[in-house]
Chains A and B, each alone.
Chain A
Amino acid sequence: MNELQKILADSVNGLLAERVTKDLIQKAEDGAWPQALWNELEANGLPRVLAPEAQGGAGGTWADAAIVLKAAGRHVAPLPLAEAVLAHWLLAQAGLAAPDGVLTVMEGDFALAGGKLSGTAPRVPWGRNAAHGVALVGAEVVLAPLAGAAIAQDINVAREPRDAVTLKDAAVQSASVTLPKNALRLYGALIRACQMAGALDYLAEQTVAYANERTQFGKPIGKFQAIQQQLAVLATQAAAAGIAADHACASLNKGDAAFEIAVAKIRADDASSIATSIAHQVHGAIGFTYEHGLHFATRRLWSWRAEFGAGAEWAESLGRETISRGADALWPYVTAR
């Protein structure tokens, strides 16, 4: 991290640590929308970390974005910060001006004709709260106002809004841009991989802290080797997910990163399965209660690991590409990336 990135990390983590309280998350899980927090994030320019300075953005790189996305995951911010970061980037890629207000991304089956968008996206993060959604139709980045959209509300396991959004002949703005195949799924996987890395860091820290506090048999349970060995595994898994996400972001700065994004999502998925299990085991019964906040992170990891393609889905496409390149191409390919 350079100096500016350290400042960014301190400020976004400081802000979210202070504002995203247990109370705020619980209310959000009960259906409340934290508008004041959204306003504050916007005022700090966080959703626009990747937007060009000419459009009021921070003009940041994906390495900067990774800091914001990891923080969003670490603090389980209950609003579409990660989605907005991606939406702003897509709009900027297409040269479309970004609107103010809540912005999300819509992965779905849409048709665009004569400036009108029709179709449905089945699980739009905070579709009910967003003023605009960004979709991809072929090579077109589309900015759609959601005021007139039909919204069927749903939630994921973490009780984050995942709404079916249906548009019919909605007047939209669009511009074409060169993006990889299934770009929204790809970049969606990247923002989730970053959020998961942040949430995994939190799990490691929280679980170590708990093991140092909780006393049984006359000493903190973290003094028992059986617990120490588990915590070491948890921390190494978090570290692996973290560098895989960073690697994907760094690659995207340089150009095509489809390979590294698949790697990051697979690695985050695998890490999440191991880490959530250890975190709960070490926390014991208290971690299984709603009262204790551990599940805010673990339930998100269980949802996020499947969103924008589970590890298995990405692994299959990565594996097919690897096999089709041939056995002897594996090492040259890995080292040339």
Chain B
Amino acid sequence: MQAFRFDLCELPGETKGLRDDVRAFLEKELANVPAVTRAQTWSGSDLEFSRKMGAKGWIAMTWPKKYGGHERSAFDRYVVLEEMLAAGAPVGAHWIGDRQSGPLLMRFGTEEQRRKILPRVAKGECYFCIGMSEPDSGSDLAATRTRAEKVEGGYKVNGTKLWTSGAHTAHYMIGLFRTHLDPQNKHAGLTQFLVDMKTTEGITVRPIKDLAGKSHFNEVVFQDAFVPDDMMVGTEGGGWNQVTAELAFERSGPERYLSSFILMVEMIRELEKRGGAEGAREIGRLVAHLVTLRQMSLSVAGMLDKGENPALEASVVKDLGAIFEQDMPVRAHELLGLEPTVGAGSDYEQVLGYLTQTTPSFSLRGGTREILRGIIARGLGLR
């Protein structure tokens, strides 16, 4: 049994110059951004910042030039991503298009779709949201009910998508709709579509407040929304396989273990003042986990660079990464005991206030802990 493999992967030496450039850029851009804002990392969004990143050539880094990309290596991209996340840059607006929807279109989209959309994504001007979950379809994605019914020249879409992050700012949704119902095989009959969120009639986006009172995600209701034929992505009925491939991208990056990193930095800042063995032990442990997760994440990046399919390894990193991220506010609380705050308080207290409330989502988004462990168990030959 060797269910999964994590080979060491060292970043090429030539990535160092790029890393220095990114750091210099971030130092300037984020100079006056408070820690609690930086703690949002890839949930935070700033359209101006996204455009600047596009101008720097730090979006769509690995894509072909003809689609506005920069034909850089997967490692260059990795370096930019991890620097952005560690610094807490507001990369949320372009994040999904860069990570997930762009690569999906590259793989399954039509030439026309790619030429029309990808260069704008690369410039940091065009944003995506993902229409997967529904009121009755969360972990059980194949239970998707939103229907796309064939009509003259396209499809008529009816149904509701839920928890759709960024639907209120996105130019496009990649929606997973049911084009055919076979009660015996619910994985069949699912199809992905590009939906123009700005011009399509019959779409209502309603913000949903999260427990902290913020509205990142939405309910998206389709009522006889017309989607033209040329907006289908990939093949009719091929949605399930395409989504599975897409999720490997979604689960593989450094964002899956760095979401609480800003709190770790602020914990150390507090401990610089306090000293003590207990705090040192806690930080040492967190450093050990951080460094190990980074090596695992790099290993996945290495597999992606070689064109291998690290879907299983990505699930491992996401599961361990979420544990690490969710443990952070707990460790912080036990160690320092200060009250989490909103609005006022020190950087540490505010970051703790933000992350204490946010971390429950880390083992839900992009596949719940239980789903990931089910995937791992399948890899172990148990299912």
B380 touches A231 (CB 8 A): yes
Which residues of A in the span 220-252 have a Cβ within 8 Å of any Cβ on B?
222-223, 225, 227-229, 231-233, 235-236, 239-240, 242-244, 246-247, 250
B280 touches A320 (CB 8 A): yes
Bound complex: CA of A262 vs CA of B374, how far in Å? 32
Stretch among B59-67, B111-119, B262-270 lining the A interface: B262-270
Task: Count residues on chain A whose CB falls below 8 Å from chain B CBs.
Answer: 52
A28 is an interface residue with CB less than 8 A from chain B: no
Interfacial chain A residues near B281, Cβ < 8 Å: 312, 315-316, 319
Determine the main DSSP class of B at the interface with A: helix
Which residues of A in the span 297-320 have a Cβ within 8 Å of any Cβ on B?
311-312, 314-320
A229 touches B283 (CB 8 A): no
A331 is an interface residue with CB less than 8 A from chain B: yes
Interfacial chain A residues near B82, Cβ < 8 Å: 335
Shortest beta-carbon distance from A7 to chain B in Å: 17
A113 is an interface residue with CB less than 8 A from chain B: no
Q: With A208-B380, A222-B382, A236-B376 as known contacts, state yes or no: A318 contacts B271, CB within 8 Å.
A: no
A314 touches B284 (CB 8 A): yes
Interfacial chain B residues near A315, Cβ < 8 Å: 280-285, 288
B380 touches A232 (CB 8 A): yes
Interfacial chain B residues near A263, Cβ < 8 Å: 287-288, 291-292
Interfacial chain B residues near A242, Cβ < 8 Å: 6
Stretch among B102-110, B127-135, B159-167, B294-302 lining the A interface: B294-302
Which residues of A in the span 34-55 have a Cβ within 8 Å of any Cβ on B?
none
Stretch among A82-90, A153-161, A172-180, A322-330 lining the B interface: A322-330
B1 touches A266 (CB 8 A): no
Bound complex: CA of A332 vs CA of B265, how far in Å? 12
A243 touches B86 (CB 8 A): no
Interfacial chain A residues near B383, Cβ < 8 Å: 223, 228
Shortest beta-carbon distance from A203 to chain B in Å: 12
B295 touches A244 (CB 8 A): yes
Bound complex: CA of A262 vs CA of B279, how far in Å? 17
Shortest beta-carbon distance from B145 to chain A in Å: 25
B382 touches A228 (CB 8 A): yes
Q: Which residue of A lies closest to B258 (CB)?
A: A331
Contact of B292 among A231, A267, A311 (CB under 8 A): A267
B284 touches A243 (CB 8 A): no
Shortest beta-carbon distance from B321 to chain A in Å: 10
A208 touches B316 (CB 8 A): no
Contact of B382 among A223, A247, A331 (CB under 8 A): A223
B370 is an interface residue with CB less than 8 A from chain A: yes
B272 is an interface residue with CB less than 8 A from chain A: yes
Q: Which residue of B lies closest to A337 (CB)?
A: B291
B291 touches A239 (CB 8 A): no
B376 touches A328 (CB 8 A): no
B377 touches A262 (CB 8 A): no
Interfacial chain A residues near B8, Cβ < 8 Å: 243, 246-247, 250
- A240-B293, A322-B284 known; 16 new pairs, CB 8 Å cut-off, are A205-B1, A228-B377, A235-B4, A235-B316, A239-B4, A239-B296, A243-B296, A244-B292, A263-B287, A263-B288, A315-B283, A316-B284, A323-B271, A323-B275, A331-B86, A334-B290
Q: Name 20 A/B residue pairs within 8 A (Cβ), A-sorted.
A: A211-B382, A223-B383, A228-B374, A228-B377, A228-B383, A236-B376, A244-B295, A262-B288, A266-B285, A312-B281, A315-B280, A315-B284, A315-B285, A316-B281, A316-B284, A319-B279, A320-B280, A322-B268, A326-B272, A330-B268
